[in-house]
Structure formats: C-alpha cells, structure tokens
Chains A and B, each alone.
Chain A
Amino acid sequence: MSHGSIIKVPFGPQHPALKEPENFLFEVDGEIVVDVKPRLGYNHRGIEKAFELRTYIQNIYLAERICGICSDAHTTCYTQAIEELLNVEPPPRARYIRVIIAELERIHSHALWVGIAAHEIGFDTLFMYVWRDRETVLDLFEMISGNRIHYAMNTIGGVRRDIHAAMVPKIKKGLDFLEDRLEYYLNVVQTEQTILKRTAGVGVLKPKDAVNLCAVGPTLRASGIKNDVREDDPYAAYDEVPLNVITHEGCDVLSRILVRCEEMLESIKIIRYALDGMPEGIIRVRVPMKVPEGEVVSRVEAPRGELIHYAKSNGTTKPERYKVRSPTLGNIPALCKMLLGGYVADIPIVLAGIDPCFACMDRMAFVDIKKNKEWIWTMQQLRRKYAKK
C-alpha cells in the first residue's frame, strides 16, 4: 500500500466502541494505523474544584461519584488520605471490610471488562454470559450495602455498615458460583480459536515501554512486571491477607484478559480469607470536622491500576486543593504505543484493553495546539469569560 492513501479516521467523541466521549484521531494507511493523536477532555466535570467547595464529609459522596465502576477505590483512597491527615487509624474490622468490598468491586469491574472485550471482538454471546454472571456480585453488594453500584461503605475513620454473620454464608455461596463460572470463562478464553486469533500478539506493549510510559495495573502486569499497590504499599488489611500478584509475559491483549480473569479468581480467595479472618469489634471511629494543616498523597490499587489522590488541607473543614490521578490517565501514553502499527480492526480491542474509564480521567486544562502552549484557568477567569453569557 502506498503512502498516498493515508486516511484520517476519527474515533469518537461519539463512537459505539467508546462508551464515554473521548476522541482519538487515527491516521490509517489501508488497514494499518500509522499515527494516533488522543484528544482528552470531553468529559470534564470540575470534580477537583467541587472538592474544594465542599466539606470533608460531603466529599466522601463526591469521591464516590468520580467513577461509577470503581466507586469504592476512590472513596478508599479519599478516606485514607484524610485519615492520614487526621492521624486516625480505622479499626481492624473496618480494614477487613474495606478489603472485602474492594475485592468484590475488582470482580465486578473485571467481569464487566471481560464482557466489553468480548463485545469489541464481536463475541456477543460471551459478553451476555459474563454480564449475566456478574449480576451475582451486584446482588451481593445490594445485600451488604443496599446499593448495586455506589455502595457508600467508606467513611472517614472506618466503614458505615458492618458485614453481619448472617451475610457470610450468602457471600460464600455467591463466590462458589462465581469461581465455577470464572474458571469456565478462563478455559473459554484460552481455548476458543477466534478469541485467540483476535487477541494473541495484538496491541503489544514491551516490558521496557510499559515501565517507561508509566503504564499501571493489569496493563503493566500483563507485560510481565510485578507491580501492585496492594503488595508494594499495603493499605487497609492487605498487609495481613495473603496476596498473589498475577503477571503474564505475553504483553498482548490476550495476556491482559488472562491477568484480569486470574485476578478475579485471586480476589475470590482473598475475600474468603478475609471473611474467615475478620476480627470482631467496632467498625468506625469518630473524627473531628476540622482537618489539621498538611499535605498527603494516598495510593490504592483500583481495578484499573494505581489510583493516586492528593489532598492539601489548610486547617478548615474544606480541602484547599485536591487532585485525582486516575489509572486510565496513566495508561494513555502506553495505549498510543500499543495502537501504532496495528490494524484498524484491532483498535477497539486494544483501546478497551486498558479498561479505559474516561469520565474518571478528564481534568480541565487548556491547550493551544498551534502555539504548543498549555495553561490552567482560575475560577475567576472562567467566570469572567462565561458568567455574562
């Protein structure tokens, strides 16, 4: 194919493969991708500014709503940060409950992703089956917290609801069912020829590139690099729970599927251990409204990878500055690397391979492409520009 036939194909902001608005401009030579330009920011919601306008208690609910899928990871990260500023330690039982909820969330998020990945390669039957079985986790969440998606379990100084003894056998029963199904899907993914054809050797990210481009989470682990905040910097009760970090050497989309499938099985083991080893006692401690002055960075292993929250307190009831770095943002440079040289037909599955969550990611910054300049406006400047209109 000649170089004269390069077509620019826009991918998004509205596109069936992207469930959230984000734009990628592909330069395509026939069926081969020769260049990718990501353009982020379509889903900016002003979350960080909103953090600064609300009290620490109100912000728990805001943090929950950064993401609809990993809502617990964000609140865990937020409450951890504030607890560190307050210098309080959540009670042991609360730490175990946090682990259980976080791992249930990992199962629900990864199962959702496996379904989407199957849909991206046109395997709708697997998509329907996985999502049907994912309902089990959502039902467990409903039993524990009363909600299927936004569980509202975390609070500063512990958790809001206990996992009662009566719930434990039900959770275990659900886990047994899921383990059975997940092993079946793992088998399907490893043996079904059309899946292997579409995923093996696709979207390759070499270990060296993965490290250099700061990939995180399952994307990094699928490139054979053992990196997991749960092990490297244990939070909640992860220092007491045995944890096996899953890695795969394939560096391709297939490895990413396998890493996630095996992580779900690992999560089931962790939850079983935590349910049995959960200490008795209180689930939360009371904390003051005012948070002492200071700065803190908190890290959590969200389903999609390392999640970082930064908080700066000035001694009042509201944070002075808040910053969220969601795992998707960390994976975008690596994603562009994976897409280069691939086929147009592989774009959706490679894109989906990092499990993107653009709504979590978008932050406000202005970029002038022509002048190659980047800046951030203050609220006053924004008001001056838009308030009168």
Chain B
Amino acid sequence: MDLDHAAVKEEVRKKMTGETIVSMIRILVFPGALFLFVLAFFYEWVDRKFFARLQNRYGPLHTGPHGILQPIADFFKLLSKEDITPHASDKLMFILTPIFYFALPLTTLFVIPILSQTSLVAFEGDLIFVIFAFTLIIITVFLAGWSSINRFSTIGSIRAMLQMLSYEIPMGLATVGPAIVTGSLSISSIVKWQSHNFWLILLQPLGFAVFTICLLAELQFVPFDIPEAETEIVAGWRTEFSGRKLALLRLGKDLELVLASALITSLYLGGPQQFWLIPPIVAFLVKTTFAVMLLSLLRAVFARFRIDQMLSGMWKYLLPLATLQIILIQAGLGG
C-alpha cells in the first residue's frame, strides 16, 4: 500500500511539475514577459516608422531590415551608458521608480487576453485593476520627477499629476460602457461577448473616441505630451534619468503603448478572435498594430495643448461626451 501511495504521490508531483513548467513558460516566455518585450520593441518601431512617414521622413533605417531592430539597439545602448544618480535626489525613490514604471504595464498586460479569449490571469473585476494600474503609473511618474529634485522634473511631474486629474474620470467612464453592455467587469468576458455579438466600436463610437483621446494623454503623446514637453521643460519628469534607468523607462513606455493598444483592441475591437483558420493571436496583432497606428496618426496632426487648456477641455468636452455615451447605453442605444 505504501508503495502505491508513493507512486501516486510521484505521479501527482510529476503532473504538478509539468503544469508548473507550462505555466512558467506561459508567464515568462509566451505570451508572457519575453513575447511582450518583443511586442513592445516592435510597436515602438511601428510608431516611430509610421510617425516618420507621416512627416515625410524615413524614420529608423539602419539597424535590421527597415530599421526594425532600432528600438532594441537603442535599449542596449542605453544599458551600456553611464548611470548617473544626482547627488540631491531621493536615492531610494529614484532607483525604484524606473522599476515600477517598467513593471506596472508589464503586470497589467497579463490580464489582457492575447493568445486566446481568456487572459493569463483573469478574474471578475480586472477592468478595475487596469484602471487602477493606469493611475499607479502616473503616480510613479510623479514620484520619479519629484525624487530627482530638478526644476524641470518638478514642473513635469506636477503637470503629469494635473493631467491625470483631467483625463482619468472620462477614461473611467469610457470603460464603464463596455462593462454595462456585457454585464461583466472582466476584460476576458467583454472580449467573449464581442465575439458573439458586435464589436463595441460599432455600438459605442463615442466611448471609443473618448477612450482613445484619454489614452493619448495617458501615454503622454502629442497633443498631451505636456509633462515631457521638450521645448519647454527639457525632458520633463525624466530629465535626470540616464543609462539603465532611462532604458527601463523607455521600455516601460513601450509596454504602456502595448497596453494601450491592447486595451483598445479588447474593449472596442473584439480582441483575439478566430477568423476561419487564422489563429486568434494574428487577429490580436493586426488589431493592436492598427491601434498603434491610430495613436501615431493622432500625435502627428496636432500641436501641443497648454496644461490649462487641456484641463478645461477635458472637463468641458470629454466628460460630458463620456456621460452622454452612458446615457445612450442606458436608453437602449449602443448595446
């Protein structure tokens, strides 16, 4: 009997190890961290190239075919550069913030369905978690700027905070739309709902527009690149960062871009869907690339707003629009 028991135990252990290995691979390699890094670098290239072509420039050209490896080259170059910590800075915070800034979007991406219609980590309420993570990212930005004790950084971080006060509520309201229609606060359920019904962009175009504009602000893209406005406050909140820390900040920004485009895809464009024989991941990639290009297009056709103009514009126009969308949904339109 003892022998039998040991064999069962062994079998269970083996099975467990197998499962652990599979889930480790899923988290670390595909569609987890490593895949997301590659995706982040790829979308940075898409963004840079498309933005450059819109401006009648070439964009990245030399590293790899059509410069596709340029973001990776930039990343490694920064890793090898001297890492300066200002004497007056809040050292601990200054070291920790780049890590947070990079880890937050990466963690949040695990709740977005990529490979199939269920994400790696799916639970009821992960939509709220995503919005919470977006807020945390901006708080990290604020701390990063504040801890570097630089006048440009300080102004930049105050601006980031002010900006957050204006776009966060419209963005929250825009995400409420899909949640009401699908009756779920889980992104995976929203994606599943869309595969049986319509894409939500068709039902809630207003919500989509509000959400995209808010994401531009979240990503600090023109016309909302106010916290890092180059011609006004050098590099804004990231002025003092260099070397490895800057590399992490840049990767974090790229991951944020992936997160933003993945959110647009999941909430409004139907997420990873199976079309005939094409696997869902392909649909996901095509849709997110489209979302990245939409964001690049928007950042190419505007001038930068001033912080006060942005605040009043967001409260005056975007918030009523987002509310209107919810009223329309409750009235039976849009789902």
CA distance A148 to B232 in the complex (A): 31
User: Which of these binds chain A: B14-22, B116-124, B304-312?
Assistant: B304-312
The distance in angstroms between the C-alpha atoms of A125 and B307, with both chains bound, is 21
CA gap between A198 and B313 in the complex, in Å: 13
Partner of B309, one of A7, A129, A197, A344: A197
- With a cutoff of 8 Å between Cβ atoms, the chain B residues found around residue A9 in the complex are 151-152, 155
Q: Is B302 an interface residue (CB 8 A)?
A: yes
Q: Cβ of A252 < 8 Å from any Cβ of B? A: no
Closest A residue to B235 by CB, please name it.
Answer: A16
B80 at the interface (CB under 8 A from A): no
Q: Is A346 an interface residue (CB 8 A)?
A: yes
Question: How would you classify the secondary structure of chain A's contact residues: helix, strand, loop or mixed?
Answer: helix
CB-CB contacts below 8 Å: B53-73 with A: 54-57
Q: Measured between C-beta atoms, what is the minimum distance from B124 to chain A in Å?
A: 41
A123 CA to B301 CA, complexed, in Å: 7
- A residues in contact with B154, CB < 8 Å: 7
B128 shortest CB reach to chain A, Å: 33
A residues less than 8 Å from B222 (CB atoms): 122-124
B225→A122 contact, CB < 8 A: yes
Query: Is the pair A125, B232 in contact by a Cβ cutoff of 8 Å?
Result: no
Asked if B54 and A125 make an inter-chain contact with CB atoms under 8 angstroms apart, the answer reads yes
Q: Is A87 an interface residue (CB 8 A)?
A: no
Q: How far is the CB of B216 from chain A (nearest CB, A)?
A: 12
Q: Does A347 contact B (CB under 8 A)?
A: yes
Q: A17-B232, A344-B232 are in contact. Are A125 and B304 (CB under 8 A)?
A: no
Q: A345-B232, A347-B232 are in contact. Are A198 and B56 (CB under 8 A)?
A: no
Asked whether, in the complex, the Cβ of B230 is within 8 Å of the Cβ of A123, the reply is no
- How many chain B residues have a CB neighbour from A under 8 Å? 28
Give Cα distance in the complex from A9 to B156, angstroms.
13
Chain A: minimal CB distance from B184 (Å): 38
Say yes or no: is A262 at the interface (Cβ < 8 Å to chain B). Answer: no
- Chain A: minimal CB distance from B106 (Å): 29
Given the known inter-chain contacts A9-B155, A197-B309, A347-B232, please indicate yes or no for A123 contacting B226, CB distance below 8 A: no
Known: A9-B155, A15-B234. A122 touches B308 (CB 8 A): no
Contact pattern, A 354-383, Cβ under 8 Å of B = 1, otherwise 0: 000000000000000000000000000000
What chain A residues lie within 8 Å of B257 (beta carbons)? none
A-B contact count (CB 8 A): 81
Flag B227-269 by CB within 8 Å of A: 1 or 0 each: 0011111100000000000000000000000000000000000
Q: How far is the CA of A123 from the CA of B300 in the complex (A)?
A: 7
Q: Decide: A125 and B306 in contact? CB cutoff 8 A.
A: no
Interface status of A128 (Cβ within 8 A of chain B) = yes
Is B303 in the interface zone, CB < 8 Å from A?
yes
Q: How far is the CB of A31 from chain B (nearest CB, A)?
A: 6
Q: Check: A274 CB closer than 8 A to any chain B CB.
A: no
Given A7-B151, A17-B232, A197-B309, do A123 and B302 touch, yes or no (CB 8 Å)?
Answer: yes
- For residue A23, give the distance in angstroms from its CB to the closest CB of chain B: 14
A194 nearest in chain B by CB position: B303
B223 at the interface (CB under 8 A from A): yes
Contact A122 B307 (CB under 8 A): no
The CA of A123 and the CA of B225, in the complex, are separated in Å by 11
Q: Is the CB of B304 within 8 A of A198?
A: yes
**In the complex, per-residue mask of A323-353: 1 if CB is within 8 Å of any chain B CB, else 0:** 0000000000000000000011111100000
Chain B residues whose CB sits within 8 angstroms of the CB of A121 once the complex forms: 231, 303-304
The chain B residue with its CB closest to the CB of A133 is B56
Chain B CB within 8 A of A45 CB: no
Instruction: With both chains docked as a complex, state the minimum distance between the C-beta of B27 and any C-beta of chain A, in angstroms.
Output: 39
- Across the interface, do A194 and B308 meet the contact criterion of CB distance under 8 Å? no
- In the bound complex, what is the Cα–Cα distance between A198 and B304 (angstroms)? 8
Chain A proximity of B204: nearest CB distance (Å) = 25
Contact A123 B303 (CB under 8 A): yes
Beta-carbon nearest neighbor of B302 in chain A? A194
Query: Considering the chains assembled together, what is the distance between the CA atoms of A160 and B151 in angstroms?
Result: 52
**Bound Cα distance A345, B309 (Å):** 11
Are A123 and B55 interface neighbours, CB within 8 A? no
Nearest CB in chain B: distance from A28 CB, A: 8
Asked if A128 and B231 sit within 8 Å, CB to CB, the answer is no
A66 at the interface (CB under 8 A from B): no
Contact residue among A16, A122, A123, A129 (Cβ-Cβ distance under 8 Å from B56): A129
Residues of B within 8 A of A195 (CB): 303
Cα distance A128–B230 when bound, in Å?
Answer: 16
Cross-interface CB contact of B57 among A122, A128, A348, cutoff 8 Å: A128
* A195 to B231 CA separation, bound complex (whole angstroms): 15
Q: Is the CB of A132 within 8 A of B56?
A: yes
Residue of B nearest to A198 (CB): B303
Closest partner residue, chain A, to B225 (CB atom) = A122
Measured CB to CB, the nearest residue on chain A to B234 is A16
Flag if A128 contacts B56 (CB, 8 Å).
yes
- Of all chain B residues, the one with the shortest Cβ separation from A120 is B231
With A122-B303, A128-B55 given, name 14 new contacts (CB 8 A): A9-B151, A9-B152, A9-B155, A15-B234, A16-B231, A16-B234, A31-B307, A122-B302, A125-B55, A129-B55, A345-B229, A346-B306, A347-B232, A348-B232
Listed A/B pairs (16) with beta-carbon separation below 8 Å: A7-B151, A9-B155, A15-B234, A31-B308, A122-B223, A122-B225, A123-B304, A125-B54, A126-B303, A129-B55, A129-B56, A132-B56, A194-B223, A344-B232, A345-B307, A346-B306
Nearest 9 pairs of A and B residues by beta carbon: A122-B304, A123-B303, A194-B303, A128-B55, A17-B231, A348-B231, A121-B303, A345-B306, A194-B302
Residues of A whose CB lies within 8 Å of any CB of B are 7-10, 15-17, 31, 118-126, 128-129, 132, 192, 194-195, 197-198, 343-348
